[in-house]
Amino acid sequence: MSQPNILIIMSDEHAPMFSSVYGHPIARTPNMQRLAELGATFDAAYCNSPLCMPSRMSFMSGRFASQIGSWDNVTPLRSEVVTWAHRLRDVGYDVALSGKQHFGGSDQLHGFQQQLARDLHAERYHPIHTWDDGIVPAEQPWHEVYNAGPGWSEELDCDELAQQRALEYLRDPARKRRPWALNVSFIAPHFPYIAPQKYWDMYPPEQMDLPQLPDGHLANLHPMAQRIRLMFGFPQFPDEVVRRARAAYYALISYFDAKIGELLEALEATGQAENTVIIHLSDHGDMNGEHGMWRKSNFYEASARVPLQIAWRGQIPAGQRISQVCSLVDVAATICDIAGDVCPLPLDGESLLPLLTQGDSHWKDEAFCEYLAHGSDRPMAMLRRGRFKLNYSWGEPPELYDIEADPGEFRNLAGDADYAGIVATLQADLLAEWDPAALDRQVRSSQRQQQYIEARFGAGWRASS
């Protein structure tokens, strides 16, 4: 078979630094370590929008969220937008989805030939938050942190079903007849922070670490972060509450990691491991208490960075650590490159294969990320190039961080005269093709129209959007 199979294993809300393969001293991820030994692990991979739907629609289309008009959890991908699933079908692949991809509206496939399981987050109602209303403070502290602990949830039911159906798909003799691409996608470790007892027991709360919070740091956060803390209800939670929430988050990561192991075993048992590309990634991270925040929706490393591992026996050298910067649109381009995509329509990313196979010295070494959803009241974007990351919030002072020297992002260099040239260059490049004023008009118009229809006719309009 000249075209390899492609297995995409996707988690939800997994910040890579909370994994043993990325150096965390507590969170155990032995199967991620196994993948690292089989292929390449990226140390600076980013999502293109730190929120479920826009991140996943960007990944599926290989286009930035603002290019496809999918900027929040209530603006689904339009059916005419070409995805990598369409592209792979066009060159002969059987393309299947098992689990979450957060497709909204009536189109639940967007190029996939079948959904094997259930997409819980696509089924659920997401409220409309309009920028016109400004930042509405949360009425109480975010309950998910207080509710963390052992147990079971509907989310875990969905993950079990996604895994069961994915394993059935891999074991089906029909997989031998043509190349296939399977996107098996889990909700873990996304909140609720409720973990199966087996994994909860691995992480006694009293032994958990606490976020890094230097004295005075929370009071000096950028207005972007202050808005998020206010709207989502993130006070400085008591240490014992934080430890329990982090314990549950680590437990869910280990739960997901076990799923990776089961999928790898299925490939081996069915004789498909030699001819299957394995791609492991997440849609965005989770702040997990860092910088006084939880969830995502910002450009700090724990929110915008994602785990990324790619293994392909005989083609990608094993045991690689890739330090160059990339993003999920590059992964979409890589999937298309591997499959032999012939679609002439544009992609916003570049294939990672030259970097993986030849150590490409000409790699762009940058990632663009944008945020156009709730928790903000204006367009925001990030450009990381090399060691520097610029955070841009329209109408507010920028932030600049040297991620190599300051991985915790505690020293904003934007006001330092020694870095003025770097700020000016990165900001000019970020704004060259990204127009915050135009996006502000587009997003607000979309929100007003959605709010009008829902207020008068209910939320059922989304089912046919």
d(CA 240, CA 253): 20
Q: Which of 86, 102, 121, 291 is catalytic?
A: 102
Is the CB of residue 373 less than 8 Å from the CB of residue 71?
yes
Q: How many whole angstroms from its chain centre is CA 284? A: 2
Exposure of 285 in the CB half-sphere (CA atoms within 13 A): 27
What letter represents residue 334's amino acid?
A: T
102 noted as active-site residue: yes
What letter represents residue 15's amino acid?
A: A
d(CA 128, CA 106): 18
Q: Which of 47, 52, 336, 369 is catalytic?
A: 52
Rg of the chain in Å (alpha carbons) = 21
Q: What is the largest CA-CA distance in the chain?
A: 64
d(CA 396, CA 412): 14
What letter represents residue 40's amino acid?
A: A
369 noted as active-site residue: no
Q: Which residues are catalytic?
A: 52, 102
